[in-house]
Every structure is written in structure tokens, then in C-alpha cells.
Amino acid sequence: MEPTNVHDPEYYHKVVDCQYACPAHTPVPEYIRLIAAEKYTEAYMVNWESNVFPGVLGRTCDRPCEPACRRGRVDEEPVAICRLKRVAADNKGDITHLLPKIPTKGNGKRIALIGAGPASLTVARDLAPLGYEIHVFDEQIKGGGMMRSQIPSFRLPESVLDEEVNNILNLGIHQHFKTYVSSLKSVINDGYDAVFIGTGAPRGRDLTNLPGRAEGGANIHVGIEWLASVAFEHTKSIGKKVIVLGGGNTAMDCCRTSRRLGGEDVKVVVRSPYSEMKASPWEKEDAQHEDIPILDNHVPVSFVSENGKLKGMTFEKVHAVYDEKGKRSLVPTGEPHVFIEADDVLVAIGQENYFPWIERDLGIEFDKWDMPKVDSTTFQSTNPKVFFGGDAALGPKNVITAVAQGHSAAVSIDLYCQGKPLDVRPDPMTNLVSQKMGIHEWSYDSIVANDDRYVVPQAEKKVTLIDRKKEVELGFDKNVGFKEAQRCLNCDVQTVFTENRCIECDACMDICPTDCITFTVNGTEEDLRTRLKAPSLHLDQSLLVSNTLAATGRVMVKDEDVCLHCGLCAERCPTSAWDMQKFFYNTTKAHHGCGSHA
């Protein structure tokens, strides 16, 4: 193999599995260390810089970081990254003085943001400090988008959301709430320099063609619309018997909200097998904990009404069959149909984009699914002035993805407004600093804690089920937060190897507890992976390969896979050929590094 190019910022970035997996590339180990040091405000600001909504995401994130966490490859469970974020948010001090200052003199550019969800608010946050005049439009009375309308208060208290939304709106954003934009053309004609569309995926799918849909109509609700109606307090109750159709997180929110609005016998009914449901495992657990059974492998057949009143639904039982390509089909088991009683049915089977308000003669091309053509790096549409982000851009994903896309779009808008090419993206900010303080002393806590993952305590069911706004999860207290933070392996403290110092004494290879390091003759990657000291099974994990070593002509190969970043290789290296160096990676954002603002 060629020697690894560690000057490519992406090499060390990829070693920090959690940060790399995070769509917004939040520097996770950095903020976890700050939490362990009880620097909650600083930890919060590291988050705020990256993901804009630490308090929200510390409760509701899809947490793509956790399945990626290296700890999960050597221990039973990954670090509770998401809930540690909440520890920072819960315990932070006053941050007003840390928020960006808005220049008294603008830069003369006006930007319209349509929709006030996470993507738009991210764009606003990134561009306002640069002097842009930001106008945000939303049909609701407050900002937050789906974070407000679809995430129930027992998972995300309104006060937390309000605080983080207001932190952005207070950056001098021009707010146009209760304003439904019915024509993009009129917005463009208002002379904005750029328009950002972050209108989400506002339309819930329905079972319009299922028999009995029309007759039972009064008691059949579309999940996300119903959740919004609850959030804005238009809906205050539901029947005793409730069926929730669907297996995603919206279905979980629907069933749990039903339990709080009078539903006593609430069931989730889903077509797919339990293991293939889209909902996050912890959300399924929380639903089941609230006495909500999940019936899988049930395909809806019809709504059943009597005298114009919904009585229930019938389902056909199926099982999943897979062809050689792994494609699934649901085949009826042949058992008789199942009838389940219901006073109300919530349909939470997916949501989609909806752009009736975008005129088709504005130069914005739409594809065959009626989705705008959007560049997945620049988030620019085929009309150079119009940008998309969040669920509106590339289909429904999650809050953290919307934030990441907002950052990218903000970079693009900034470049566009300065007349610069959008495909030349500014570099991320990186830094690499030795952590050595002396013999046996590092400036990070290199000892690997053995603790199992701590469980987040919950409020008692008898309290939470009677109050829709009572938050279920109590969050880690400071002590448990510290202990959980200590489980982090500090993957951003990199093992940096300088070959011309190496005397090939084998000390690092002998001491490494997880057998990451091998000295051997060079070969192709495929060949090298068979000759390492321990099996190299995760091919997506990089190999760090040195230049040819002078004394023996061999190379040093380190499999990054299960490196504990314990620093023992550097500790045992007599010549400091190994060093532990903290790598900081701040993904490209509009408010630094974009040309004139650098």
C-alpha cells in the first residue's frame, strides 16, 4: 500500500467514528471531555456551533453516531452520546454573551427562508452574523417546524425548543409567522438575493383507497397532522381504543400521545416484521413500556364502520419472504383476517413533500417523482437563486440531517451572493496538537473506563401518562453524566506515527491491548489485512500505513478498527515515534472560511 496521507483532513476525521457518522460532524469527543470537566457551557457551545439545537437533539436525535461509536465494537454498547448532549444543555450557564454578534451594518444582501424548521433556522444562524438580512416565513405561529408540530412535548419540552429557536430568531431575523407562502414567484419578485426552501415533508400519507376510509372518516386521522393539532392544542382527546398504523418514529409518537389523551387500549399495527420497523429501537421500547402492544405482520384490509361510526379495522396476517437478492415480499399466511376494535385510527405510514406553491415556470426543474432537482453538495436548484435544504431537499430524513444541509446551503448562498463558484468549497478547519505533558502524563484522560452504559432514568408512568407535557426522560444527573462521559474512548486523540524516529523495537506492537499494530513487509491492502496481528474484519475501517522503515525495510500497519486510543503505544515508545495528538475538525460553515469572511 501507499503510505497513508494523514495530511488529508478526512483521514483522521474518519477515525473519529461518531463525528464522521454525524451528518453535521459534531466534534463529539471534544464536548464529552468538556462535560467530564464540568464545563457544560463550553460543551453546549461546541454543540451549538455544529448542530444548532443541542437541547432538542440531546432528546430527540436519531443518533447515527451511536451505532458508529467505536466503543460498540469492543464493549456491549456504545457511549450514550445523545443523552450526554442533553447533560450539557441541561447544566449550561448563560450563553447570551457567547452568541454571535450581529454587525450593525448589513452587507446589503437579503435572503428569504421559507419554512422555519431546523434547516431554515440553521441557514439563518449561519448567515445573519455575516450581515445578511434574513426574512423567515412560516404558516405557524412560532418557529421550529416539525420539531414543534411533530415531536410531542413529553419527549421535547416546549421551553427547550423555544429557547433554542429564539436564540436564532434574536439574531435580528425578520420574522413572518402565520404567513403561508402560496407563490414562490411572488417571493422571488420581491427582490431577494437568494431564496432558501426548507418546507419539510409536510404531507402525511393516507390510505385513501382502503375500503371504508370515507365512511369512517371522522375518526381516521393522518398522524403528523394529528400530532400538529395536538401540539397547537386544537385536539385535546381521543377515543379509548386506538389503532396506530405504521412502524416509524411518527407512529411511536402517535401511540404514546394517544395514551396521554385518553387512549386506554392503544395498539400499533405494522405491516413489516418487528425487527424491520423503521422506528428507533429505544422509541419502540418506550412505547411498549407504556403498555402499547406492537402487532407486526398485519396488513390493513379495510376500515369497518357501523351506522356511520368507526368500529375498527380488519387485517390480513402475512409473513416476510426474501428472494435471492434480499428483496422482501409480504406473503399472506392464509389465516383468517383479524378484526381489531377501534374508536380512532391514526395513519402514520410515511410523509412526503408537497410543492403546489412552486410555479413550474421559475426555472426549477422537477424530476419524475415531482421532486425538485437539487445538487446534493451545494443544495442549489436549477434556478441558481433558489436553494433547498432539510426534508424539502432530498426527501424526509431527520433533524440532524436538516441542520447539516442547512450549513451546506448557507455556504452556497454566501458564495453565490459574493459571485464565487459554488463547487469550490472552503476547507474544513482542522488542528492537530500533541497531548503529551510528561512521562505517564497526557492532557486527556487516557484510562479506559470499564463501566457498562448507564440507563437514562425515566419519570414514573403514572405521572407521565396523565400529563402530555410531562417529560418522560429525566436525563442523566451530573454524576452519572460524568461516569458515562468517562466511557468515551477519545477517538479524536489520534495515534500519530513518525517513521523516521522508529527504531523498530516492537514495544508498541507488544503493548497494544487490542493488537492494532503490526510491523511487516508491505503488500496490497487485501494481502496486508490477512497478515495483521489480529483479524481485520471491518474493511470500512482504515489502515494507517507508514513509509518504508529504514532499518528493516518493513512498514508499520495500524488497523484503526478497535484502537482504544489508550496511548500505551506512545507511552512505550522510546523515541516518541508515536504521539497522541488531538485532532479537531470543524466542518465548513458559512461563518468562517468563506472567502472574505475568513
Partner 1 sequence: MTYVRPTFRHPDLPKNKINFTKKDYEGALSTLCAGCGHDSISGAIAQACFELSVEPHRIAKLSGIGCSSKTPAYFLGNSHGFNSVHGRMPSVATGAYLANRDLVYFGVSGDGDSASIGMGQFVHAIRRNLNMVYVVMNNGCYGLTKGQDSATADNGSKSKAGSTNLFNAIDLVGLGLELGATFVARSFSGDKTQLIPLIKAAISHPGFALIDVISPCVTFNNNVGSTKSYDYVREHIEATSTVDFVPVMEEITASYDDAKEVTLHDGSALHLQKLHQGWNPEDKLSAMNAIQTSKEKGEILTGLIYIEPNTNALHDVLQTTKTPLNTLKEDLLCPGIDALEALNQSLR
Where residue 295 falls (left for φ over 0; alpha for ψ -120 to 50; beta otherwise) is: beta
User: What are residue 316's DSSP bridge partners?
Assistant: 299
Cell numbers at residue 571, please?
507511552
Residue type at position 417: C
Residue closer to partner 1, measured from CB, 359 or 445: 445
Residue 245 contacts residue 269 (beta carbons within 8 Å)? yes
Q: Which amino acid is at 528?
A: L
| List of residues contacting partner 1 (CB under 8 A) | 73-75, 440-442, 445-448, 450, 503-507, 509-511, 513-516, 534-535, 537, 551-552, 562, 564, 566-568, 571-575
Beta strand 436-438 with 220-222 is: unpaired
Amino acid found at 90: D
The least CB distance from residue 501 to partner 1, in Å, is 11
Please say whether the beta carbons of 410 and 417 come within 8 A. Answer: no
- Distances in whole angstroms, Cα of residue 374 to Cα of each of 197, 391, 457, 509: 11, 12, 42, 49
**Which residue's CB is nearer to partner 1, number 383 or number 520?**
520
* Comparison of 214 and 550: residue with beta carbon closer to partner 1: 550
Closer to partner 1 by Cβ: residue 76 or 233:
76
Tell me how far, at minimum, the Cβ of 529 lies from partner 1, in Å: 12
CB of residue 32 to partner 1, shortest distance in Å: 17
* Residue with smaller CB distance to partner 1, 199 or 518: 518
* DSSP 8-state class, residue 372: B
Beta strand ranges found along 198-326 (DSSP E): 203-204, 220-222, 241-245, 265-269, 294-295, 298-306, 309-322
- 347 or 573: whose CB is closer to partner 1? 573
Nearer to partner 1, 66 or 473 (CB): 66
The minimum distance between CB 553 and partner 1, in angstroms, equals 10
Q: Is 473 helix (H, G, I), strand (E, B) or coil?
A: strand
CB of 562 to partner 1, least distance (A): 6
Nearest-approach distance from CB 543 to partner 1, in angstroms: 15
| Residue 306 contacts residue 202 (beta carbons within 8 Å) | no
| Distance in Å, CB of 445 to partner 1, minimum | 8
The nearest distance, CB 511 to partner 1, in angstroms, is: 8
Phi, psi of 338 (to 5 degrees): -105, 135
Q: Which is nearer to partner 1, 397 or 572 (CB)?
A: 572
Residues 6+ positions from 317 with CB-CB distance below 8 Å: 297, 298, 299, 332, 333, 335, 337, 338
